[in-house]
A and B are shown apart, each in its own frame.
Chain A
Amino acid sequence: MATNTPPHGAFRGFGAPQCIFALERHLDKVAATLGLRPDELRRRNFIAKGHATATGQVIAEEVDMPALLDRALRESDYHAKCERFARENAGRHVKRGVGLASFFHGAGFTGSGEQHLASVVGVEATSEGRVRILVSSTEMGQGTNTILAQIAAQMLEVPYEHVDIAPPDTAQVPNSGPTVASRTCMVVGKLVESAALGLKQTLTGVGLLKEGYSTAEFRHACSAYIARHGSLRSYSQYQAPPGIHWDDEKYQGDAYGTFAWAVYVAEVSVDLLTYEARVEDFVAVQEVGRVIHPVLATGQIEGGVAQAIGYTLYEKVAWENGRMANGQMTNYIIPTSMDIPPIRVIFEERPYPYGPMGAKGIGELPMDGPAPAILNAIENATGLSLVSIPATPETLMTTWEGVHA
């Protein structure tokens, strides 16, 4: 099939934001049709351990969506606001509303993707007892270097400051796969953890280290080992967690080793004089296995939510004869500091056995929830049912006039 638009690439969420947008908008419509509140419909139909997903994957981990929902509703004061806004909106041209979305995001490559990647990670030590992580993962500010160093430091019981990350130069590092798919912490981090364990076991295995060793003892052990053998390096290669089966032909089975689970709540205001919708408050609750670094993890959620707010309200791509007509910062509108509400991030932890220290992946998760939560909130505020984004003022106006003609 030929089109006249330029090739498109992957964007944060990689298809999940689009599907979850449709699902979560639709669920609110189902709820309304049944006369159920949006949270009640979800509560009655939440997936749990033992249930199957659309690909026939039986959820093998403990999932407590009702608890996440309760937390999100409480933190956002959802019911009280619903009731208050319903009362106060009459007679005001600035309407307020709340909306929610519940969703999950699988980390790592789908299905047999990670097996095909067969990522390899190395951890090596120097005679000075410094540790070097050998990965092809790219630090771009998300905190890869920090968390991988934390993981290695913890496993090897050495100070974080003694861990270096080798530059991702193919001459120096093995292929640990691309820095995508929310996989770096969970998949690559797990390999760092096991490679570090392998390095420790190499030293303890030949009696150079005993349990409860000090940093100085670690350094002596590395020095002695390298003097004898020339180098001290341990590699770990990806293996699928046990019990994971995927059928590439039928696209059925266990799509992901695990999922992060979330409930997001958006509070919006819609000014019916100008049809501008604003997000006034945002609560993001997610269960992520284990938080390796709270500041970095929070930064991922806040950044993803902000990006998704842009996706939902401002970022329209204007096409003219197959060309993007608004490819400049002046006319492709992303949110400024005055457009983003306070974002409250709450983490729950339920360690995933095959993640480093129990961590799951979270990079793309925050992109999935805001769009439907915001449009659900707009509907709650105004009764306007929008089914596409961005929900620009022009679109809100056209929809409003269509309904109130």
Chain B
Amino acid sequence: MRKVPITLTVNGQPRTVSVWPMERLLDVIREQLALTGTKEGCGEGECGACSILFDGQIANSCLIPALQADGSEITTIEGIGCGEELTAVQRAFVECGGAQCGICTPGMIVAAVALLRQNPEPSEADLRQGLAGNLCRCTGYMRIFEAVRSACKEGRLRQ
């Protein structure tokens, strides 16, 4: 087998990398693109720590073979917010204590952003369901829900 080149848009920028066809997109993101915000929590699609936006939808990057990412648009946690300028969700996580050890946090924020883009006024049930694919061991989820609610409120006030 040989490595093959793929081109994809990463956080708005076109990137070309050389990949093994079945290489996990997670590994391409972390190692070749040097974007280490996306984490490996389980390597089996259970924990959501590797969540990214893949063609606009949340997906577990540990379950995407690199060759399928050719021609795709991905957003990693580094593409949420802009450097030091945090989005509402990120600011809310800081204020509300939504992160403890931080391993679930990048994926959790991607999931929250994906949820709010889809559904700017989620109910409690929608909120829990939207984040159900992201496991957290430290926080017990309460501060995370609080953060998402707070970001929603800010979004509402803006309008």
A residues whose Cβ falls under 8 Å from a Cβ of B:
140-143, 295-296, 298-299, 302-307, 328-330, 334, 336-338, 340, 342-343
Cβ of B14 under 8 Å from chain A: no
| Shortest distance between the CB of B94 and any CB in chain A (Å) | 10
Residue B47 contacts which of A142, A299, A302, A329 (CB distance < 8 angstroms)? A329
List the 7 shortest-distance A-B pairs measured between CB atoms, nearest first.
A306-B140, A141-B100, A141-B101, A302-B140, A329-B46, A329-B42, A295-B97
Q: Which of B17-25, B73-81, B131-139, B151-159 contacts A (4 or more CB under 8 A)?
A: B131-139
Least distance between B11 CB and chain A CB atoms (Å):
26
Q: How many angstroms from the CA of A141 to the CA of B99 in the assembled complex? A: 7
Complex Cα gap A106–B125 (Å): 38
B91, CB-defined interface residue at 8 Å: no
Minimum Cβ distance to chain A for residue B108 (Å): 9
Query: Does B41 belong to the interface (CB within 8 Å)?
Result: yes
Chain A residue nearest in CB terms to B96: A295
Question: Which of B46, B133, B140, B144 has a CB less than 8 Å from the CB of A330?
Answer: B46
Point out the residues of chain A lying under 8 angstroms from B140, CB to CB.
299, 302-307, 340, 343
| A337-B41 Cα distance, complex, nearest whole Å | 17
In the assembled complex, the CB of B39 is this many whole angstroms from the nearest CB of chain A, namely 13
Asked if A338 and B132 make an inter-chain contact with CB atoms under 8 angstroms apart, the answer reads yes
Range for the number of chain B residues in contact with chain A: 20 to 34
A/B interface sample: 24 pairs, CB < 8 A: A140-B100, A141-B100, A142-B100, A295-B143, A298-B143, A299-B97, A299-B138, A299-B140, A302-B141, A302-B143, A303-B100, A303-B139, A306-B140, A328-B42, A329-B46, A329-B135, A330-B44, A330-B46, A336-B133, A337-B127, A337-B136, A337-B145, A338-B132, A340-B141
Quick one: given A141-B102, A303-B138, A303-B140, are A336 and B96 in contact (CB under 8 Å)?
no
Which A residues are CB-close (under 8 A) to B102? 141
A306-B46 contact given A141-B101, A329-B41, A336-B135, CB 8 Å threshold: no
Chain A residue nearest in CB terms to B127: A337
Asked if B118 is an interface residue, CB under 8 A from chain A, the answer is no
Nearest residue (CB) in A for B105 is A141
Tell me, in angstroms, the Cα distance from A140 to B138 when the chains sit together: 10
Spell out B's residues near A (CB within 8 Å).
Answer: 41-42, 44, 46-47, 96-97, 99-102, 127-129, 131-145
Rounded to whole angstroms, the CA-CA distance of A307 and B138 in the bound complex is: 8
Least Cβ distance of A138 to chain B in Å? 11
A299 to B142, CA, bound (A): 8
Residue among B42, B97, B132 making CB contact with A336, cutoff 8 Å:
B132
B134, A337: Cβ atoms under 8 Å? yes
Give Cα A279–Cα B143 distance, bound, in whole angstroms: 18
Known: A295-B97, A328-B44. A306 touches B141 (CB 8 A): yes
For A337, the chain B residues whose CB sits under 8 A away are 127-128, 131-132, 134, 136, 141, 144-145
For A336, the chain B residues whose CB sits under 8 A away are: 132-133, 135
What is the distance, in angstroms, from B40's C-beta to the closest C-beta of chain A?
A: 11
Given contacts A141-B102, A307-B137, 5 further A-B contacts (CB under 8 A): A299-B140, A302-B140, A336-B135, A337-B131, A340-B140
Q: Which partner residue on chain B sits nearest A142 by CB separation?
A: B100
User: Is the Cβ of A338 less than 8 Å from the Cβ of B101?
Assistant: no
Tell me the minimal C-beta distance from A342 to chain B in angstroms. 8
B41 touches A298 (CB 8 A): no
Which A residues lie within 8 Å of B47 (CB)?
329
**CA A307 – CA B102 in complex, angstroms?**
16
| Nearest A residue to B125, CB-CB | A338
Q: Which residues of A contact B46 (CB under 8 A)?
A: 328-330
Chain A's nearest CB lies how many Å from the CB of B4?
30
Q: Is the CB of A302 within 8 A of B142?
A: yes
User: Distance (Å) between the CB of A269 and the closest chain B CB?
Assistant: 16
A316–B147 CA distance with the chains assembled, in angstroms: 31
How many Å from the CB of B113 to the closest CB on chain A?
A: 16
By a CB distance below 8 angstroms, the chain B residues around A328 are 42, 44, 46
Which residues in B have their C-beta under 8 angstroms from that of A142? 100, 138
Q: With A329-B42, A329-B44 given, is the CB distance from A334 to B137 under 8 Å?
A: yes
The distance in angstroms between the C-alpha atoms of A267 and B65, with both chains bound, is: 44
* B138 contacts across to A, CB distance below 8 A: 141-142, 299, 303
The CA of A74 and the CA of B96, in the complex, are separated in Å by 26
- With A142-B100, A329-B41 already in contact, the answer to whether A338 and B129 are too (CB < 8 A) is yes
Residue of A nearest to B111 (CB): A337
Taking the nearest CB of chain A, how far is it from the CB of B130, in angstroms? 8
Cα of A304 to Cα of B97 in the assembled complex, Å: 15
- Per the bound structure, the CA–CA distance linking A328 and B100 in Å amounts to 22
Whether B142 pairs with A140 at a CB distance below 8 angstroms is no
A338 CA to B129 CA, complexed, in Å: 7
**What residues on B are CB-neighbors of A329 within 8 Å?**
41-42, 44, 46-47, 135
Instruction: Determine the distance from Cα of A330 to Cα of B137 in the docked complex, in whole angstroms.
Output: 15
Residues in A with CB closer than 8 Å to B135 are 329, 334, 336
Complex Cα gap A302–B143 (Å): 9
Q: Complex: how many Å from CA A297 to CA B145? A: 17
Q: Tell me how far the C-beta of B117 lies from the nearest C-beta in chain A, rounded to whole angstroms.
A: 18
